[in-house]
Amino acid sequence: MKAEEFDRKFDDNEDISAYLDVSRAHRPGQEQKRVNVDFPVWMIRELDKEAKRLGVPRQSIIKVWVAERLRKAA
């Protein structure tokens, strides 16, 4: 498929997923690195309560809260 046809399909809101190879796709600047952080037990309990209330994993809450704080500090 030529680029012009691909662009037209995209512009016409057609499903172009069949034409994409996402096997090696990545988000620049979003690569992940594992870190270990020790939290006091009371903090884990509070994180787990909030995670359960929101229906998300504990890790998601930690990531969102740290990201929010970093944005404020920037």
17-43 pLDDT, tens digit each: 999 998 888 888 888 899 999 999 999
How confident is the model at residue 43, as a pLDDT? 97
Please report which confidence band the pLDDT of residue 65 belongs to, taking 50, 70 and 90 as the band edges: very high
Please indicate, yes or no, whether the overall pTM of this predicted structure exceeds 0.85.
no
Mean pLDDT of the chain: 93
Cα 73 to chain centroid, rounded: 21
Is the per-residue pLDDT at 54 higher than 90?
A: yes
How confident is the model at residue 12, as a pLDDT? 96
Ordered by start, the domain boundaries in the chain are 3-73
Task: Tell me, letter by letter, the H, E, C secondary structure of the chain.
Answer: CCHHHHHHHHHCCCCCHHHCCCCCCCCCCCCCCCCCCCCCHHHHHHHHHHHHHHCCCHHHHHHHHHHHHHHHHC
